[in-house]
Chain A
Amino acid sequence: GQNIDQPTEMTATEGAIVQINCTYQTSGFNGLFWYQQHAGEAPTFLSYNVLDGLEEKGRFSSFLSRSKGYSYLLLKELQMKDSASYLCAVRGPLSFENQAGTALIFGKGTTLSVSS
């Protein structure tokens, strides 16, 4: 089976740092993705990890530990516009993808509220 867990809600203030955790149990692992989704809009890609370690991209960083089935998204210098849902997704096992697809399995998302 496949299971992806992340907190439902988080709050933070402008200028702060927030870490959103994600744990996963999947029958196969071929990469972990983070997406941002503003209310009523489609998700947009933030980051991708396939090897252990930290990937940094501007104010956003993402970390992966494959042995622990764990990832986090780190947001620095928070801004009001960062208020959104953050979705953790794992690339599904090859058998599900018919060996050629890249279907992503998503967690339920973490709703982040940034206040002034």
Chain B
Amino acid sequence: SQTIHQWPATLVQPVGSPLSLECTVEGTSNPNLYWYRQAAGRGLQLLFYSVGIGQISSEVPQNLSASRPQDRQFILSSKKLLLSDSGFYLCAWTTGGILAGGTGELFFGEGSRLTVL
């Protein structure tokens, strides 16, 4: 069966410090991968998505970047955190898509709660 893991689960970082959140998927190949952020009182905001190794797309200008060095690994990074980067970060995957005839439901990792002080 497929599983998704992300870490760390919780972290507290000072403003200006770097960030690295990691997500891995097991039990599937060539997944579509996503990073979402959920700030307090706000909905899930899509930050990045990737349809393959080295392919990263983003619709939201921000202080963060993403990389996909391996097929089942997705990393969210920042060189210098801002207070506004605080939130609950969720990695998600799906297999196939419209072209593959799937429903496209997302499967989420456990989440990483980031507090920037």
Contacts and interface: CB of A to CB of B under 8 A. Distances in A.
B3 interface: no
A94 B97 CA distance: 10
Contacts of B49: 97, 101, 103
A108 B96 CA distance: 26
Given A42-B110, A94-B98, A102 B44 contact: no
Contacts of B103: 31, 48, 50
Contact of B57 (A45, A98, A105): A98
A25 interface: no
The 3 closest A-B pairs by CB, nearest first: A102-B104, A108-B43, A42-B108
Interface of A: 4, 30-31, 33, 40-45, 48, 50, 87, 89, 91, 94, 96-109
